[in-house]
Structure formats: C-alpha cells, structure tokens
Chain A
Amino acid sequence: MNNHIVSAFNVELKDVASRVVEMGGLAEALSRDAVHALITNDVETARKVIEADKRLDAMQADLENLCISIIARRQPVASDLREVIAAMRVSNDLERVGDLAKNVAKRALAIETSLKAMELGVGVEHMSELALNQLKDTLDAYTTGDERTLKAVQLRDKEVDALYTSIFRQLLTYMMEDPRNISMCAHLLFCAKNIERIGDHATNIAENIYYMFTGNHLPVERPKTDELDVGRQNVPTE
C-alpha cells in the first residue's frame, strides 16, 4: 500500500503505524505488570507501572500531534485518512488502558496482601488473562489486518463482562460475610472494573482497526451484560 508518489508521505504513515505498535506494546506490558503486581502484591512492579504510564501519555500526545500535522499538510483521503484517524482513536484508547493499569497498580500498593492464595485472586487473574488476550489479539491484528480476529474480539467481550459480573457477586458476598473485608474488597472491585474496562478498550480498538482496514463498521449492537443485571430478577420488569 505504501507507494505514494510523494515518498515523504509514505515515511510519515509508516511512522504513525510504528508508533501505534509501540504504544500498544507498552500498554499491554503495563496491564500485565499491573495485574501481576496486584495478584502477587509486588510493590516494586506496581511502582514501575505507575511511573511508566507517563511515557505512554507522552507517546499519545506525540502521535496525536503527528496525525494532526499529517491531516493539515497532506489532506489524506480514503484508506490514508482512515489510517490516520484510526491511529488517533487507537492511541486514545491505549492511553486510557495505561491509566487503568496505573490505577490497578496504585490499588495493588493499597491492598498490601497477596491474592495468590485466595479464591478471589483466581477469578481476577482469570478475567485479566481474558481481557489482556483481547488486547493482544487486537494489537496483532493491527499489523496483520486479520478481520476474523477483530470480529472475534468484539464478540468475546461479553465473556469478560460475564466474568466481571461473577467477581462482583463474589465480592458482595465477601463484604456481607465480614465487614473487615470491605476495604480490600472495594479496592478489588475497582481493580476488576478497571480490567474489564481494558477489555472494553480492546473492543473499541478492534472496531477502529476493522474500520481502518475495511472502510466499514462492525455491527454496533453487541450483547452487553454488566453488574446491573445482578439481582435484576428481583426487579419487576414492567
């Protein structure tokens, strides 16, 4: 695709793509490290995540400036335009992923216990695995352009949502059992929500990448469940 008559334009578009990939790599690493820090109560790693998020923010700002400058100077159209717009959107999502990872890391510092031996830890770890794989598959598809992967990511988001809902139930139970659990459980609840949100961002990114490659949108209607469904059976529906 990179055979513009103006070769400097090629160079710039390549630069955009490689920066997105770089940001993706960092966001993914931060998320993994944050989850690891949470589960194992690894203070050192948590601090590193908090620190590294600044770099992600700076990368996002740089990439946005580059995209704005390309739009201003080259007026990209069609696939080029979609590439630039997708890069801006994806980098926004990745920056948010970094923020969420940072927040998990901060709470890991606050919790001060290892979840390794706890049943809850297993649930959170499992959900994180799923959410982070969503992110990884999406970022791989940015390079390969595999549309099937992107569609699959969009559909699989509901599995992350379902796991989150079950963790939510579990945490409610713990808090009801013993009020001394509330502080830790509240932090964990936010962590779980953050990780679930990382999965949502992965889905957003997948949708934007799909648009970038095809020029078409994935269907917007996707099954959505969240913790508000918990106990809904008790609420009269009419």
Chain B
Amino acid sequence: MMKSNLAAVENASTSEMGTVSDISSVVSPIKMQGKDVNVFYGAKQALFDVNLDIRKNQVTALIGPSGCGKSTFLRCLNRMNDTIDICRVQGDILLDGEDVYNPQIDVVELRARVGMVFQKPNPFPKSIFENVAYGPRIHGLARNRSELEEIVAKSLQRAGLFEEVKDRLDEPGTGLSGGQQQRLCIARAIAVSPEVILMDEPCSALDPIATARVEELIDELRRKYTIVIVTHSMQQAARVSQRTAFFHLGQLVEEGNTDDIFTNPKDQRTLDYITGRFG
C-alpha cells in the first residue's frame, strides 16, 4: 500500500515538473510577422531574409551590436522606413495576417495601430495635455472635450505619469524631467489605443531610476499591448522581455524564450555577444 502511495506521489511530482517547464514554452498567438524580410538602403543591404514572429501580449526584445539591423527591422513594422527615400523593403510584414505594405493600407492608421516610442524623448512643444490629446483628436477618437480629457487622464495613468503631472497639465511637456518626458511619449503613444508599441532604445537617455520606472511600465503595458523593444542593454532585454531575437550583420541569428537565450543560447555568435566576448 505504502509503496503504491509513494509511487503516486512521485508520479505527481514529475508531472508537476512537466507543467512548470510547459509554462515557459506556452506560446501566445502571433500578432505581427516578418516573412523573408530584406531591406536595402540604396545598394547596401541591411537585412537578409529575416523571419520573425511577434507574439501577442508579450515583450519581444531585439538585441545585437550597432548596425546589425535591429532598428531597421523595428522600423519596418510600422513603415517608418517609408520616410527614408533610398530605403527599399522586400518580403512581408503582417499585422494580424494582413500585409502592412499593401498599397491599400492607410499609413497614418497603421501607425495608430502600431505606435512608436523613440530613443530620445520628443514631446511636442506644447502643454502636457496637448501632447497626449493630439493623437486622439486627429484620429477623431473623442466626440467632446470631456471624452478627450478622459482619454488623456487614462493614458497618463497607464503611463504611470498622472499622479506626477495632474496639477500642471497646462505646463509645457518639454519642462518635465527626461524620464517623465519619456513616459509622456509613452502616454502619447497609447492615447490612440494602439495594438502594438514599438520602442527604440526607450531608456538609453534615462537615469537608472527613470529606467526602472519605464521597465516597470513596459511590464504593465504588456497586459494590454504587444511590445517590441530595441535595446543595447542586454540586462534590460533579460529583465523586460519574454522573447529575445539576436541580430548580427543584418541576419536574425537566433530567437527564442528570453530565459533560454540568456541561460543556454544555441548559436555561438549569440553566446559571444551576450557574454561580452569578441564575436
């Protein structure tokens, strides 16, 4: 009797262990997809056959040395590369299965669905309120002033900035500290209810405290949005992301669960990069 009980306990504990490892490999649905993406700046090729899935409600970190193509890939996701004349994109970028480079697509609407936060906080030279209200207003998301105020307040709250600025919404956004300005830009990005938020080195101009605030915010935002972040800080990628993609010389070398990439990367180049060795 006792032996069989023991066996049952042992079986239970192995199956539990099985579940634990399953949790880390649970895959959420694909939100965006890059398929055979090649990007050229004039004659120079910047990305080579990149295939990468961006999963819903997860943070995907793009890492790699300068010039590896990670920002180029990020900018493909909401067609920011369109603004560069010599830039040519081949392959498919899909948002919910729909090609964002389809000529029928309204680029302005696309960028509302796929918002962006840049390296240096770039608030408009307007009041805090206007910075956040601008997007919803031009997209017609509010029917009247009170709806607009509600959107602004909610966005600032989600960006973790409301408490700090609620008494001075009329003051210029440029008067805030660097970290506050970056959170203002995040509030501005989420005010138009995007589905995906792209972040290009959002913390590189911030001090460690402001960085921690933004990282905490990224973790919160992931519940509602899908996030793609380009970062030079490996520790940041390890801290904030669930998926990590390593780019090198325009190629996607390796992508996978962040835990796996940082404990047991499969590719020697990934290992060399994340451990700080010569590539």
Contacts and interface: CB of A to CB of B under 8 A. Distances in A.
Contacts of A3: 277-278
Nearest to B238: A77
Could you say which interface size class chain A belongs to? 10 to 19
A5 B277 contact: yes
Interface string A221-237: 00000000000000011
Contact of A79 (B3, B238, B275): B275
Given A75-B235, A77-B234, A77-B262, A4 B1 contact: no
Nearest to B262: A77
Given A237-B3, A238-B1, A238-B4, A77 B278 contact: no
Interface string A2-15: 01111001000000
A216 B264 CA distance: 8
A78 B265 contact: yes
A13 B123 CA distance: 45
A6 B263 contact: no
B3 A78 contact: no
Interface of A: 3-6, 9, 75-82, 215-216, 236-238
A78 B277 contact: no
B276 interface: yes
Contacts of A237: 3-4
Is chain A's interface secondary structure helix, strand, loop, or mixed overall? Answer: loop
A220 to B, nearest CB: 8
Nearest to B261: A78
A216 B21 CA distance: 13
Contacts of A4: 275-277
B3 A77 contact: no
Contacts of B234: 77
28 contacts: A4-B275, A4-B276, A4-B277, A6-B276, A9-B276, A75-B235, A76-B275, A77-B234, A77-B262, A77-B263, A77-B274, A78-B262, A78-B263, A78-B264, A78-B265, A78-B271, A78-B274, A79-B275, A80-B275, A81-B262, A81-B263, A82-B263, A82-B264, A215-B263, A215-B264, A216-B264, A236-B1, A238-B1
Contacts of B263: 77-78, 81-82, 215
Given A82-B263, A215-B263, A215-B264, A77 B4 contact: no
A3 B1 CA distance: 58
A5 B4 CA distance: 56
